[in-house]
Amino acid sequence: MTVRLVLDVQRTFAGGSSIHVRLDEPLVPGEVLVLFGPSGAGKSTVLRAVAGLDRPDGGAIRFDGETWFDAAAGVHVPPQRRRVGFLFQDLALFPHLSVEGNVGFGLGHLVREDRRDRVGETARMLRVEELLGRRTGTLSGGERQRVALARALAPRPRLLLLDEPLSALDAPLRESLRGELGALLRRLGIPSIVVTHDRTEALALGSRIAVLAGGAVRQVGRVEEVFGAPVDLEVARVVGTENVIPVRVVSREEGLVIVEAGPARLVSVDPGGLPGEAFACIRAEEVVLEGAPAGATSARNHLRGKVIRLVNEGPLVRVTLDCGFPLVALVTRSGARDLGLAPGREVSALVKAPAVRLVPRG
Amino acid sequence: MDLQALRLSFTLAALTTVVLLVVGLPLASWLATSRWRWKPVIEAVVALPLVLPPTVLGFYLLVAMGPRSPVGQAWIATFGRPLAFSFEGLLVASILYSLPFAVQPFAASLSSVDRRLVEASHTLGVSRLGTFFRVTLPLALPGIVAGAVLTFAHALGEFGVVLMVGGNIAGETRTLSIAIFDSVEQLDYATAGRTALFLLTVSFLVLVVTYALRRRPVAG
């Protein structure tokens, strides 16, 4: 059952900067909407406004037909009555309570047996059953996160909000938890909103993405669309100069993976633990263009393509090719001149296997 | 040592502490969270007894409680006896004089509780009052106990305000510190010394307990 979230959040900060974020998005159970942008873009402000923790200066927030906030009508539903789960960046576990006390904290409305059942059920789902008797100070980073998620999910929220959910973890743990969190969010059957400034996180978790920059929404769409085809230079700068291509794993050999990208095949280094579906990420800077056909080279990926568009970016030219899927290359002006690049020209795009980064598809 | 004065001092200090726990905690909670623009004025009023000579506070209280003031008259009309120079009057004075000793440590420990924890509780559906009792209060407890102990010790030894408002009526307003003053005036240095040593010991122990509580890390 899809619910609709209509946002119009206006807020002016003490320093004089202000944000005005408008968004009208269907939220699908099991799908994740990513609010993506650099720090200071207003992502966390929006998330806190949706949770009811902060009251915006103007605008309105409606969820599933309910008005949660309306500045003009003077409506502000307190967080207690919104039934949202909130995962704080630093997790905010209660240090004076056991894991069980934390998970059952929001279940005061249930009678004792029901509460115990619900705690057990939620703990099983998040694999924190053996931790229930422990104090939160003795948990590892990954355990703390699962406990915080269990606490947020136990009261069965209608919407789950996650503020930079992986940023508090150290790098190796973040890698392994990213996929786990993505799988969990898809399994939950409630819609989620994730705030992040990390591209990999957005790809691994998000179904749809809203890019925020300068206090406003610049682009909304499916993750691979927005990453692959930013609407303007500012969005391109925020999401990075990256090609994001949906691919399917075909075979693996000698630590390499062969994936299918439309009609073409790409060779990449096997990151391990990859499911059948993934995104291949290639930075536009890493794509080398040659006049077709290319000679012998060490680059494993040779893609035949036709130039669609050329856009000047200072000393560089952003070249969009059609290789069966759109591929963006960033080359110097002189390089483009030497190759005689123009729309319609056939070229070869060369990409080294290690420059193709595979991310499990969210 | 004057046992009657000892009992009176302990009763006064205990009641002062209880009243300040009941009245001071909500006030401290408000001070810890409010963003009202006139808050500094309230903070200053709470802190006044720290800097004001006890005689000044005592003088105003005496005038306010006197039989000619509206408060004094209302008290006489209700209870049939004057508020000034009574134990009740003494209690009122002691509460006001000890206010900062309770409210300031309460407010400091309440505001040291991480706001995220309070917000987490709110998103989990727990009301503001429920959150206060289930999150804020348990986490601020060491500071609150320290504040209460300090208040007790301070009220136990109070002299100036007591002398101004309470006078020196045995069994009604003669506290330990007044008893010491009495003994010295009668040149009974032995009794004064015993009482003084007693108060010194109690005050010292209280401070040791207070600092020990402050050092204790929050369990987690």
What's the average pLDDT block by block, 10 residues per block, for chain A (362 residues)? 92 89 93 90 92 94 95 94 95 95 93 93 92 91 92 95 87 80 88 91 89 91 82 78 84 89 88 80 88 74 90 85 90 90 90 86 66
What is the pLDDT, as a whole number, of residue A164?
92
pLDDT of residue B62 exceeding 60: yes
In three-state secondary structure terms, A296 is coil
Note whether B127 contacts A80, CB cutoff 8 Å: yes
The residues, any chain, with a CB within 8 Å of residue A118's CB and separated by 6 or more, are A104, A107, A110, A154
Whether residue B200 is contained in a domain is answered as yes
**Partner residue opposite A79 with nearest CB, options B123, B218, B219:** B123
B82 in a structural domain: no
Query: In angstroms, what separates the C-alpha of B208 from chain A's closest C-alpha?
Result: 25
Question: B187: domain range?
Answer: 3-34+41-51+98-158+170-215
- Give the pLDDT confidence score for residue A362 in this predicted structure: 57
**Residue contact B124–A155, C-beta within 8 A:** yes
Q: What is the pLDDT of residue A241?
A: 64
- Could you tell me whether strands A159-163 and A84-87 are parallel, antiparallel, or unpaired per DSSP bridges? parallel
The Cα-based distances of A256 to A268, A270, A275, A300 in angstroms read 6, 5, 14, 11
Decide: helix, strand or coil at residue A310: strand
Q: Give the number of domains in chain B.
A: 1
Closest CA to A167 of A205, A134, A130: A205
- Closest listed residue to residue A271, CA positions, set A198, A359, A352, A351: A359
In a domain, B85, yes or no: no
pLDDT given for residue B197 in this prediction: 92
In a domain, B116, yes or no: yes
- Which of B116, B126, B139 is nearest residue A80 as measured by Cβ atoms? B126
Interface of A with B in 276-315 (CB under 8 A): none
Q: Could you tell me if residue B198 is inside a domain?
A: yes
Q: Which of residues 112-151 of A touch B (CB under 8 A)?
A: 135-137, 151
| Domain assignment present for B202 | yes
**Lookup result for tokens 């009220």:** B155
Closest chain B residue to the Cα of A153, Cα to Cα: B124
* CATH number of the structural domain spanning residue B176: 1.10.3720.10
Mean pLDDT taken over chain B: 87
Angle value at C-alpha A294, between A290 and A300, nearest 5 degrees: 100
Return the percent helix, strand and coil in chain B, to nearest 5: 80, 0, 20
Provide the whole-model pTM: 0.78
Rounded-to-integer distance, Cα A174 and Cα A167, Å: 8
d(CA A58, CA A317): 42
**pLDDT at res. A99:** 96
Is B117 inside any structural domain?
Answer: yes
* Count of A-B CB contacts under 8 Å: 69
Q: Other CB atoms closer than 10 Å to residue B67's CB: what's the count? A: 11
Q: Cβ of A83: how many Cβ atoms within 10 Å?
A: 15
Instruction: Write b or e for each residue in A189-227: b if 16 or more Cβ atoms lie within 10 A of its Cβ, otherwise e.
Output: ebbbbbbbbbbbbbbbbbbbbbbbbebebbbbbebbebb
Least confident among A58-67, A75-84, B1-10, B98-107: B1-10
pLDDT, position B220: 38
Closest CA relative to residue A194, chosen from A307, A356, A37, A14? A37
Q: State the Cα–Cα distance between residues A342 and A350, nearest whole angstrom.
A: 18
Q: Which of B115, B121, B122, B124 to mutate to test the interface with A (most CBs of A within 10 A)?
A: B124
Residue B109 in domain: yes
Residue B95 to residues A117, B9, B24, B82, B202, Cα–Cα distance (Å): 48, 13, 10, 18, 20
The token pair at B127 is 């009301």
